Structure 1
């Protein structure tokens, strides 16, 4: 116990000393009472003054106490789906509940401040042993562990107790060190249980109408050698099935299927295996996969007047694409009278035509690529035949140049009706400035512009492309055009646009120097790798495939970014609404209902996309497996514009069952790099003695102010009362 003063002692002495001298002097001047009474009176008055002076100094008593503080300990329990596996009768999560209910938590609480959590794909809520359920679709051990440690940063941690089967699905390597000791408790059996599962499916990215597509299925066989099973391949849309009887031999079994699609479209198929006796789980016995079916080969006619680098690189790309059969028409440019005579006909080239095919032959082509033509390149009748070709369902890509965008260019021809832009009478200006196109919100997800799998990968791909050399300016988009890319985000200068014309599609590219995406990445025109995923070839393959896929023109069309979703993912639906002239409709009344696998139809909230005319969005988080169908209706002014529907499949991830055994190696390594220990669940009772932790002692201090108490007032009052009584008796009042 210590006594401290809130004010310096000399402050009290400065106040007390003169007052005390005055009191003594006043009593010394009195002739009575006797000496002993005088001394008593002075003492009482002095003591009262001293007590009051000490009170002014703010005296406080400090009491110190040594207290033991228990160190913190984190308990993590794996609740991923692999914990539902039954090794010897009881599920792994059941064994954990039984072990934690045997008194171990009470023992740990005696030594530690225990903080319990569950985890799977991430750190989850507080631990409740009675309500433990293994329902998470992935296991992220390291990231969950670090999240728990970060929650108690700054506190002295004795360690982390981890109860898991070690089936980490993150595929990330273990860190070199961890900030806290990990005491890993293995749950399950390290011996692989009996199981068959689908490891992978090898599917061609595109299948062709009336052509055989080879599918390879790889099955892992654990403990069923010699058994015969039936593998089923089912088309989800039509319900057609194929079955194949196979014998399980060896750990990996390969099964071949051959399908021959009869129509174009996006389809989903399900490959499934039967559930065998004693199998740990049937959740990894089926797999859904998509298959895109297109025409066997697209016929492309490339019409150009001034072949240059763009023509050379694009010709090379077309001929390298096994899914394209290109033809070429090179039309010499007409020269004004009085200059060098014009060439007639066409420029000879391998695979070149002598003139524009007649309308019947032109209809055999799926895509036309029109380069730098002017109004004199073809006759008016030939230009009109191209317009009719597109109107009846053909596709055209405009790759303009100085002539086609000039005052004597395409604006003077019937092709001006096809263009998604309006060119002024004086023509357009070529702006020579390097730039990378910026995708619009619609271009981000458009099939032509998708150079990466995810939104982030797509943005990075477009950002990292070699820049284009320039762009044409001065034109304006038509009302029905959709802008896919801009010159810069802060400008409204369009670079890539498309529109529908009749039953056909039109794509317009207003930038120049696309060939640099190939040349500046891979170098010279020759001796380059034949990689179809290179940005230049990928862009053109996607553009040709999308433009050349003939579909019945729809005023209302619904689409999803993919056909197969994982459980828990969100499906984002995009709806495009047009009027009879294929002008995007703003302010339409769009209704979306979702038919679920369990038979219910749910209305979804629809929002109109900001900044993109005629585009509407809806979203739904898939919480159950099975087939879903989005049904769409659009009205405007009470009139029905059209309907559409799109289907998708939702399946559970099977990552949790890729390693259906206790991965002791992973858990032992985790304990080793952290300085902890590894034990089996059966040795859980030994855990409290294994954990190395020293008790922390804290010094707690309590303060008690003695100057601000009623007792002090009572003491002063008693002293002054005693003095008053003595003075009263001696008639000194």
Structure 2
């Protein structure tokens, strides 16, 4: 609507009128001094023109234009850029695709609305940031990569994006799943703030809500991270299978070997049937170890129809399969120093797996002690019996042990007060197994005071003499006999009746008086050893740890029918071999040697990925601990996948083999472990601002949202008055000045020309 008005100077029509009358009076009374009518008319006309222009400037006429239009405001649209948007939505596409389509339709519709509303596009996951491009194609080349979702961050950033302008509204798209920890203000508080300001919150939930059909999942859990196995041995693979939303559904379970070349072999299969809607089944499958090598052992299930998360359908263990046996069962009755050092020595070697069981003498009322299936064939490869009475094990279990030795296991009995014939083994099934003769009359009870009987014991100190050359007794030095003679003397030893006269029985060590100290023999396919002493721990304490380690390791290897393969070798330890990509995992490696003067070699570490790309780990710490070279550090942040940690000598010419240890980086992002959308939460947020037009729309109802935004803009229209007064703008002001000055200048020029001045 338009109208005419005047705004006289000083806002006073009286003053303007008075001035105008004075100008007219002056024009009438002061006439041009000429009698020529033509000249008179020109001069009076120019004066009246100047007076008219002056009166226009005094009265200031103008036009007023009154209109209604929406005030300037900002509409903020926030889209979910977290990885959960890659989950399926329905048969027509995933959540990200539907969000792209929703934004494209919304952007095209907003472009037809009034220009006084600016649109800002945000992307949010655990934080929010503004996207520069607000065209319909703004999301076409983007990929959702966020590890967490924080709806509060999206709502807070929406307010900040307005940059002080009034908010026309806030639109939040996404699956509504809040996976980031809520720290302080939640999304509800921000929605309440928008309600207070009278700003509507519109939400566009994308993704299926949880339910029995939408919550189906199969997961493998509780699989050990690693196994140390020996070829052809049978072992149990234990794990748990979590079944959710699959009552009555048959699920195939497989155990698969994957070798270093990537070749895959199925080792075992089983069909599972879920009996309940939510169930956890403990699974144990017997598997035979393959040929020696390094393997990955996968326990896996196929994805089921409707399952959103499949990353937990497989779990991996790392397996090192070695040649021959190496599992040792150590039974001890008296917790002596010998067992402490012996256990420490044998456990230094990864190829020897030691299980220790102490059977105290004060439990004799409950003897024999049940030892599960430990004496069955193939359960252990070496049996060590310390100072333990035969009754503690029992005749039935000793019979099983004798059969296991006959089938190929190794047996060694250590010196002590309550073993051999003094411990009742002369009348036990082991009498035929051990390589020494035993006399049943020398049996003593567990409470007997005859432990120092010279008939049973050789008093110390005892100097060891080597009887013959043998792999067990070659413990280093240029002169093996001299090496044995210089070892710390023993505190005592068992006095054997004598070695058996049988093929394969040999006396390897003896006293200076030719009393046997170490007798070895064979029983069936197994090897046996009778050790008369139990104080070799003194070797270690008195600086002869090399001899100690060599002796016991070579005895174990001989019982296993294996060559000595010891030497300088690198051993690697990881805090974990299966960990999430954001975990802080440390590693340690040491260069182990059986010599007292190990090689002084600096160790380096590197990561090898599945494509054999090598990345050096530069932030490491090197040191020397107990005479061994070590290196330690942290595994860098890696993408999910399979890797190997390689530790090698820095000097490539060093005669030490590089070692690798495989590990897995897994994706345990909360974002990917919570696949269900939460559209109800987004609807609740929008409901908070319903008094101001807030509402939730599906991604297929964008047209309705655009219509509501347009109606909201129409309700926000306000009258806008535009006033255009003569002389307010430079054009009209200069025009008045030029006309006024031109009229007066022309009148003066004519008077001068006509000689009237």
Q: TM-score, normalised by structure 1?
A: 0.46
- In our comparison, the structure showing a higher alpha carbon Rg is 2
Q: Normalized against structure 2, the TM-score is what? A: 0.45
